[in-house]
């Protein structure tokens, strides 16, 4: 069992140990992040977006089951299981007259959600969810009422790596994904083989019982803000997202993590969790390296030399990466 070294966060330690023992170590952090997203929906108005998680991994690697297990740590009034085939209008129709506020939307299969929709329906769904998670409401001008659906919500969405690569640039883009901490993982083959061998035994593992009294208001100091801002500057490059969006998500994560451990203040354990997520949010390939070198003033030729690439053939790719980074405010 891993020593997570979170001395002031016993709830987190229980959650991490549960996911590691029942599934495998690599999904323990995604399981914890989903718990934080669910708790985030109930927080007092913190003046920031809620903490949202977009979980990307290959098919059949515990994306849906970690969402379900995370829900089991909370009472039913914390979340809404939407299913994986709805439009922004059906969502509004179902929940317009019901309690939608301060709930976490659990979308277990983003692949199914988008593959069954026309392009127009996909655009409206992505735009609607982006508006709700950002502004707390979705406005649709063609309807009689301006306010079509509203509520301060958090969102957990799962998607296969194949579908993410298909939809990331043309559909999801920065407008939608800026609202989410996007996490990536791929379970090593040895861990999958071990799980398969022990599957019948692991199914019997029950969630730990503990006293769970999450706080709805968590305070932070000026020093906390400065430290989170330092993380955000680094993580915005690694995740290829804006500095402001990354800062908001990291602060929301720290606040939510403190809350599930019954604390009304941020402490060192929250920063340990930020260290833990680094490898999960890092975009694969040379993209973060290119952005970091460009930020240091390297020209395209020097970047190619450092990466061991041929200048003429690799330069167009560097230009595209730099353009994307500029569009998201990472580079000037």
Predicted pLDDT at 67 = 97
Given pLDDT bands bounded at 50, 70 and 90, which one contains residue 126?
Answer: confident
Note the pLDDT of residue 84: 74
Q: What is the mean pLDDT of residues 315-321?
A: 95
Task: Tell me the percentage of the chain whose pLDDT exceeds 90.
Answer: 65
Three-state secondary structure call for residue 158: strand
* Confidence check: pLDDT of 135 > 70: yes
Closest alpha carbon to 110 in 158, 172, 164: 158
34-72 confidence digits (pLDDT tens): 999 999 998 876 677 789 999 999 999 999 999 999 999
- Is the confidence at residue 154, as pLDDT, over 90? yes
pLDDT in tens, 254-312: 999 999 999 999 999 999 999 999 999 999 889 999 999 999 999 999 999 999 999 99
In this prediction, residue 239 carries a pLDDT of 95
Residue 147: pLDDT over 60: no
Average pLDDT over residues 7-30: 96
Percentage of the residues of the chain whose pLDDT score is greater than 70 = 95
Amino acid 26: pLDDT = 97
Rounded to 10 degrees, what is the CA torsion of 178, 181, 182, 184? Answer: 160
pLDDT digits (tens, 9 = 90+) for 86-116: 888 877 777 765 678 889 999 988 888 888 7
Q: Which residue has the higher pLDDT, 22 or 118?
A: 22
pLDDT recorded at residue 201: 94
Per-residue confidence (pLDDT) for residue 231, from 0 to 100: 98
136 has pLDDT over 90: no
Question: What CATH number was assigned to the domain covering residues 10-195+211-216?
Answer: 3.40.50.300
pLDDT for residue 157: 95
Rounded Cα distance between 73 and 206, Å, is 11
Between CA 168 and CA 123 the distance in angstroms is 13
Taking 70 as the threshold, does the pLDDT of residue 27 lie above it?
yes
Question: If you average pLDDT over residues 161-170, what whole number do you get?
Answer: 88
Q: CB-based burial of residue 10 (10 Å sphere; 0-12 exposed, 13-18 middle, 19+ buried)?
A: middle
Closest by Cα among 49, 209, 43, 35 to 136: 49
């Amino acid at each position: 069992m891993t020593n997570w070294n979170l001395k002031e966060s016993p709830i987190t330690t229980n959650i991490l140990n549960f996911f590691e023992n029942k599934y495998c170590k690599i999904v323990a952090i995604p399981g914890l992040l989903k718990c934080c997203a669910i708790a985030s929906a109930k927080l007092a108005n913190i003046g920031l977006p809620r903490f949202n998680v977009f979980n990307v991994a290959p098919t059949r690697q515990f994306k849906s089951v970690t969402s379900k297990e995370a829900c089991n740590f909370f009472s039913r009034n914390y979340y809404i299981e939407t299913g994986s085939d709805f439009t922004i209008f059906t969502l509004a129709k179902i929940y317009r007259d019901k309690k939608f506020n301060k709930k976490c939307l659990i979308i277990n299969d983003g692949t199914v959600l988008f593959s069954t929709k026309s392009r127009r329906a996909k655009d409206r769904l992505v735009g609607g969810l982006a508006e709700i998670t950002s502004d707390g409401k979705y406005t649709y001008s063609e309807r009689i009422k301006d306010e079509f659906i509203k509520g301060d919500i958090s969102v957990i969405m799962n998607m296969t790596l194949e579908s993410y690569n298909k939809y990331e640039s043309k559909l999801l883009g920065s407008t939608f994904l800026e609202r989410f901490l996007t996490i990536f993982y791929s379970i090593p083959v040895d861990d999958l083989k071990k799980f398969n061998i022990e599957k019948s035994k692991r199914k019997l593992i029950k969630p730990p019982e503990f006293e769970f009294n999450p706080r709805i208001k968590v305070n932070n100091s000026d020093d906390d803000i400065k430290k989170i801002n330092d993380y955000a500057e680094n993580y915005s490059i690694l995740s290829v997202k804006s500095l402001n969006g990354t800062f908001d998500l990291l602060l929301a994560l720290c606040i939510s993590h403190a809350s599930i451990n019954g604390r009304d203040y941020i402490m060192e354990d929250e920063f340990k969790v930020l260290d833990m997520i680094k490898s999960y949010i890092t975009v694969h390939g040379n993209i973060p390296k290119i952005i970091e070198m460009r930020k240091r003033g390297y020209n395209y030729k020097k970047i190619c030399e450092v990466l061991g690439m041929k200048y003429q053939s690799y330069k167009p790719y560097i230009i595209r990466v730099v353009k994307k980074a500029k569009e998201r405010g990472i580079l000037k």
